[in-house]
Amino acid sequence: MTYIWQHCPGDIHFKILFEISTTRHLISPFCGVTTCCLYSLNYLTLLEPCRKLVLTDSAVSDVWYYVPPLKKGTVEAADGCLIVNGNKIAVFSERDPKAIPWGKAGAEYVVESTGVFTTTDKASAHLEGGAKKVIISAPSADAPMFVVGVNHESYDPSFKVISNASCTTNCLAPLAKVIHDNFEIVEGLMTTVHATTATQKTVDGPSGKLWRDGRGAQQNIIPASTGAAKAVGKVIPALNGKLTGMAFRVPVPNVSVVDLTVRLGKPASYDAIKQKVKEAAEGPLKGILGYTEDQVVSTDFVGDAHSSIFDAAAGISLNDNFVKLISWYDNEYGYSSRVIDLIKYIQTRD
């Protein structure tokens, strides 16, 4: 089995291939997602028996560039290789995904993390190089979309290209599933207060879409669009057309929070809602949905591997049919953890 992550600074593709026993993986950092994937695997000691790694990035020639994010274990650079816990990552460069010799490298699962090739047609370029499957680490207009813990079991081995949805959809969908299954969501609005991402400007600059999208990320709270709520309708068909939402980009480097305000079909006290979420977090959604009653703030969730952590102390209800629910997520590490989980699952089905 091979896992592959891809990074594209501009039009440049970055690859890391590593083999775990008889398993091969490829990882690369894009907006922190793939750095978190590699960090997570290393933290879980999965990298220890690793025998072979390959990395490509035609934008960066100095392998020391990749050392700082990998602080677990020993990291060094020598002879054009990045060495993590004694395991070598060979470095090479490719610009065109079709030119990457996945088959020759023994690659099977490619994670498309460029944010550019997000349609089935574009992401399929990796298949031409010999990859077996492509997982898009972003929403897709036409690829089957999966959220671990919500609809991943509907995966069909015939799919060649799939999407892991967005970090916000991964936060929202598990919570929405619990609420809908128990209390029926009639309709709802979502707001995500989202950490800065690499697509934003450091200072005011031009924007190809809305003018305010180009305003300085560290100086402003910026209203923005998001398809995360509507995407829930793709992974939970019963909620299709019942949810929509927006985002506020805020000047923090990591960790975001979802505000889900819904009208319920079945009346329920806020305490009853908390109880059902807690049961799910300790049961079928353990490790995916978290639950806390502590007086937490955003930095408390840096490095949290859950997709969504329900903040019981922050939510409110107007009455038994109208409630506001709050759930946190590490939009880098939590999401990256689900990328790994999704690949592990589909590998058992292929």
Distance (Å, whole) CA 172 – CA 268: 20
Distance (Å, whole) CA 10 – CA 314: 39
- Among residues 301, 302, 278, the alpha carbon closest in space to that of 291 is found at 278
Q: In terms of C-beta density within 10 A (0-12 exposed, 13-18 middle, 19 or more buried), how is residue 119 classed?
A: middle
| DSSP tag of 195 | E
Residue type for position 215:
R
Collapse the DSSP code of 311 into the 3-class scheme (helix H, G, I; strand E, B; otherwise coil) and give the result: strand
Distance (Å, whole) CA 327 – CA 317: 15
Kindly provide the residue ranges of all beta strands, DSSP E only, lying in 35-116, ordered along the sequence: 50-57, 75-78, 81-84, 87-92, 109-112
Catalytic residues: 167
Kindly provide the residue ranges of all beta strands, DSSP E only, lying in 58-184, ordered along the sequence: 75-78, 81-84, 87-92, 109-112, 133-136, 161-163
What's CA 256's distance to the chain center, in Å? 12
Distance (Å, whole) CA 121 – CA 99: 16
